[in-house]
Structure 1
Amino acid sequence: MTKAKILILGSNATQIELRGGGTATIGQYLNETTVPALALIDAGYELVLATPDGTKPHIDAVSDTVGHFGGDQAAYDRAKAFFAEDPAMNAVRTLRSVIDAGLDGFAGVFVPGGHAPAVDLMQDPDAGAILRHFHAAAKPTALLCHGPVVTAAALADAPAFRAALIEGEDAKAKTLARDWIYAGYRMTVFSASEEKIAEEQLLKGELPFDMPKALRIAGGTVLVSTTDFASHVVVDRELITGQNPASDHALAKALIDALDRALAQA
């Protein structure tokens, strides 16, 4: 018997637009998806994976390396097998079907990173409805790396907010972010200096907007580590955010600690 169910919000995006034209191939990061997921299962929780269209998330090829698992071949092999074969990663539902079936049965929600969530989830109305539910219930809400920008989905018009960011219309974006449920929260996200390295070495182009700036415009207090790619997790009320791929284990621990505390108080 499991302790409780945890909802994982996955992305279906495989391309992200680049400033000046063109796109880059992206996806979710393998370690950011599987390290917290496996930690949750090991801690006694049941997982439900849902995406906008109900198909399995695409794993970004650049994340599919043992290096993202600290060089631990056994951990990498376990993660690969888990994502490929485990029912928790393959019995994928749509976000809408999860909402329609009821969200009260979930103890928490987790959003993995990779660039993909910054394309679809951050402007998905169902993702927004899910986040608003967990916020109102004060249930643990964890987001990793680029995942924290998905909190923008909770806005009344998230697509317009994202479009304003892309157009550089900061004042319009700020207006659209009025009454954001996470305004004033401390949080972290993939930093601008980390993103510059990713743009140069992986994406071969500039992203259409800056992730930390987007959250600051929305009203978040964004805290990033001064050391690029060092593990960094910020917890504020129900919100748990991790800065980068190296934050996978620390974010998993913070989420499990929060879930366990909530269960103990229930």
Structure 2
Amino acid sequence: MHGVRRHLSSKKVLIVLSDANAFPLRKNDGSVVDEETGFFLSELAKPLMRLLDAGYEVTFASPQGKQPNIDPLSKSTPLAFLGMWWQKRKEEDLIKKMELENNILAPRPFSSISDQELESFAGVFIPGGHAPLTDLGADAELGRILAHFHSRAKPTAAICHGPYAFLSTKPFAYTGYKMISWSDTEEKLVETLKGGEIEKVQSSLANAGAEMVDTIGAKTGAISVDRELVTGANPMAAAALGDKFVEMLNARH
């Protein structure tokens, strides 16, 4: 019976989304404006494809269970797809499939997932986009959820702005962990484009006690693995992050 339970639990992964469709941008004149955001399409789709191909069942969850938004930058920025329109179409089609066959349009509110139910999940994944800056970093229920995966050393993946969610653990659960995220340097480029100041993922995590990896590789899709944690720098890391996350999940069977 124990073996049956283990088999059932081993194929479920929790995907954490933000409810936010905007993030605060502090303009140079001191005003604060809302900039549209959401999850970054390729950062969710590429790892999700790999999870589904490997036979994993996914459940989407967010702070209040609101319908998530797609970050408009992830559909329009040339860097996001490097001109590969067919890849963008494939990823958009996958999200539409999730809308029909899964609960991405109505994520489970964090508070609805009990500690007992968390035992049934093999791992957790947090995609990026600027949305996590708005509502994931201080969410106590998310802190409870992440503490579960951390305390049991279950594979935990996050990419780009996704690692900001780790700040929800109180006390910070990942002190001394090597991790990688959207860098302050990259964010400053976005700030220049938008004419304002944005909360920094890299320095916020460093200030909390994480050991941030900051190398040339971070600009070309680097990932970092430390214990149960796998993190990715930016959209270019999405495929590698997905491959490594599946490898870590499979290794626990």
Q: TM-score, normalised by structure 2?
A: 0.88
For 2:196, which of 190, 193, 205 is the aligned residue? 205
Q: Distance in 2 between matches of 1:228 and 1:251?
A: 13
Say if 1:224 and 1:243, in contact at 8 Å, map to a contact too. Answer: no
Corresponding position: 1:72 with 2:84: yes
Match of 2:94 in 1: 82
For 1:98, which of 105, 108, 113 is the aligned residue? 113
SS state at 1:39 partner: helix
Gap regions ≥5 residues in structure 2 = 1-6
SS state at 1:44 partner: coil
Q: Distance in 1 between matches of 2:139 and 2:202?
A: 19
- Correspondence list, 1:119-134, <5 A: 119-134=134-149
Match of 1:31 in 2: 42
Match of 2:62 in 1: 51
Match of 1:176 in 2: none
Match of 1:12 in 2: 19
Aligned-partner residue type, residue 11 of structure 2: A
Deviations 1:47-68 (Å, cap 9, x if unpaired)? 1011111122111111014752
Q: Distance in 1 between matches of 2:47 and 2:214?
A: 21
SS state at 2:20 partner: coil
Q: Distance in 2 between matches of 1:227 and 1:100?
A: 37
Q: Which moved more, 1:85-94 or 1:240-249?
A: 85-94
Q: Distance in 2 between matches of 1:239 and 1:228?
A: 17
Q: CA RMSD in A?
A: 1.9
Deviations 1:174-216 (Å, cap 9, x if unpaired)? xxxxx42110111111111111112222x33211x32211111
The percentage of aligned residue pairs carrying the same residue is 37
Say if 2:218 and 2:233, in contact at 8 Å, map to a contact too. Answer: no
Q: 1:253 to 1:234 in 2, by over 3 A?
A: same
Aligned-partner residue type, residue 195 of structure 2: K
Number of matched pairs: 238
Match of 2:180 in 1: 188
Gap regions ≥5 residues in structure 1 = 156-178
Aligned-partner residue type, residue 76 of structure 1: K
Deviations 1:36-89 (Å, cap 9, x if unpaired)? 111110111111011111122111111014752343333211211221232233
SS state at 2:189 partner: helix
Q: TM-score, normalised by structure 1?
A: 0.84
Say if 1:199 and 1:206, in contact at 8 Å, map to a contact too. Answer: yes
Say if 1:122 and 1:151, in contact at 8 Å, map to a contact too. Answer: yes
- Correspondence list, 1:216-227, <5 A: 216-226=206-216
Q: Distance in 2 between matches of 1:105 and 1:54?
A: 20
